[in-house]
Amino acid sequence: MSPRIGPGGVSHGAPRGRGRSRLLLRLVFLLAMAAAVVWGGGGLFGRSGDGGGSGEDGHPKPPPATGSDGSSSADPRPRGPASSTAGAPGASGLPRCVEGELTAEARDVIETITDGGEFEYPGKDGSTFGNREGLLPDESSGYYAEYTVPTPGEDDRGARRIVTGGDTTPTSPDTAPEHWYWTDDHYESFCEFSA
């Protein structure tokens, strides 16, 4: 069957049967896409039900943690070396760091904090830690300060930090912070210790 020619010699496309089939096929495709977005969490458009997408602060969420065997965990508790070997909960409710968990570099930074000394990253060390992850106890803005703990072999600040709470002005041993926290995975987990 040949295409129909309308007024003025304009073709009206495929015969009626095929046109309806194509229209029906397009409609089914669009409905399937809409169903995928609704039921699948929108994975085609950057959102998915696996924890991807943007966090509350608008930054992309990190991918789920994976173990050394490649398995992933949806466990919301702090993970990583700072908490995986930690002891009983401390006063904050966070696990206490176990003996030997703090590195030699961390002990050097603790000494620098308590002595009120000079830091490797003066624009960053001693600055306010915002606790955006919500893993430390809720306190007012400015309560926490963070300090870089150098990582051998890293050419930047690395992932290791000491976070202090309370009087965070390192001016003398008399004003030592009240609370001390260690993270070696860039705020993914913390353990508490005493200096």
The residues facing 147 across adjacent strands are 162
Q: Radius of gyration over alpha carbons of the chain, in Å?
A: 28
Active-site residue among 146, 179, 188, 192?
146
> Is 146 noted as a catalytic residue in this protein?
yes
Active-site residue among 101, 105, 120, 186?
186
CB 172 within 8 A of CB 182: no
Q: Which residues are catalytic?
A: 146, 186
